[in-house]
Chain A
Amino acid sequence: MKSSKIFTFFVLIIAMFLGVFSYLNFNKTPASIGDQLGGDFSVTLEDGQFKLEDYRDKVVLLYFGYASCPDVCPTALALTGNILKKLPQAIAAQIQPLFISVDPDRDDLKKLTLYGHYFHPNMLAGTDTKEKLDKLVRKYGAFYSINNQENSAMGYSVDHTSRLYIIDKNGKLADTLSHADIQPNLANKLLLLTEK
């Protein structure tokens, strides 16, 4: 059962790569990333649904991870939260950080709310069913994969892309920052997408 699930997952990943590859080959004119990836979505929070379409007046910062991630996720989220805290109040008020857990089995919504607030008082955190999450990560060009840690007390970890998606006030994916680019570039990117 487990191995067939893993197999199906890998088939999906390969299919995804092939799909993206053929699309890129077909589309010879260079397109910006925002034309291909991103778009409206909803995800479940402790006190209801987060719907991207409700946030047209805000720049949304989206990160996919999992709460028991011991290093990479907290680093990315702390960097993001710390940068937001340093921005002028009027700018920060135009930004909505959002953490989406791709580990709904371990992360309940109550726990996620506290987890988000730890990194920034305005950070929302939610998750959803595996089916919905899979569609959502694909929509944004993210990946994740359950990594069984047979020799570790962790049980399993979740391999995942560590990227911060910057969604502008029109709901369009404006930019994607890799893990290493958050610290040097996030503040400047946000200043360009907000009004003084």
Chain B
Amino acid sequence: MKSILCILLSFFCQNLSAQQLTINEGYLRATPPGQMMSSAFMKLTNNSDQTIIITGGESSKVKAIEIHNHAMRDGMMSMEHIPQLRIAAGKSITMAPGGLNFMFIGLHKALVAGETFSFDLVFENGERQSLTLPIKSIVN
């Protein structure tokens, strides 16, 4: 009985977070040959009345999924790991090339354009939201 309740509860929670955070225009970049790094870009919208805090992502197909940001520093493009991405109630954040992105570090397999990639977003409160994004090539 307890376990059924747990399953029901977790199902409810997943649905809840899925409603609270919507992802649009998301994609991952196909990897150049030999490269086991990639980036995902998307628009995240917080539909809830509370701040949503994302700490990163997880998947068995990659060593780490981290939030990174780019900034110009002394005329050089610099990257930094963002431990928490905070999305205020009712607000959207766009992750786009040259700015914020989910960085996939140490992919076990190349990312091929036309395929999809599934991973979990991990929230500060321990909740997760699974996500499946298309893989796109930036090379014509």
Contacts and interface: CB of A to CB of B under 8 A. Distances in A.
B78 A159 contact: yes
| Range class of the B interface residue count | 20 to 34
A71 B98 contact: yes
A70 B73 contact: no
Contacts of A71: 39, 70, 79, 97-98, 101, 103
Contact of A151 (B73, B77, B83): B83
A152 B83 CA distance: 9
B28 to A, nearest CB: 11
Contact of A145 (B76, B105, B139): B76
A82 B77 contact: no
B88 interface: no
A67 B73 CA distance: 20
A152 B34 contact: no
A165 interface: no
Interface string A149-180: 10111100101111000000000000000010
A153 B105 contact: yes
B139 A78 contact: yes
Contact of A161 (B39, B76, B83, B103): B76
A114 B34 contact: yes
A114 to B, nearest CB: 4
Interface residues of A, number: 35
Nearest to A83: B140
B37 interface: yes
A75 B76 contact: no
Contacts of B97: 71-72, 75
B76 A115 contact: no
B38 interface: yes
B78 A143 contact: no
B35 A72 contact: no
B128 interface: no
B77 A115 contact: no
Nearest to A149: B81
A74 B70 contact: no
Given A74-B138, A78-B139, A118-B33, A157 B76 contact: no
Top 6 nearest A-B pairs (CB, nearest first) are A153-B64, A152-B81, A114-B33, A78-B138, A159-B78, A159-B76
Interface of A: 13, 67-72, 74-75, 78, 81-82, 85-86, 111, 114-115, 117-119, 143-145, 147, 149, 151-154, 157, 159-162, 179
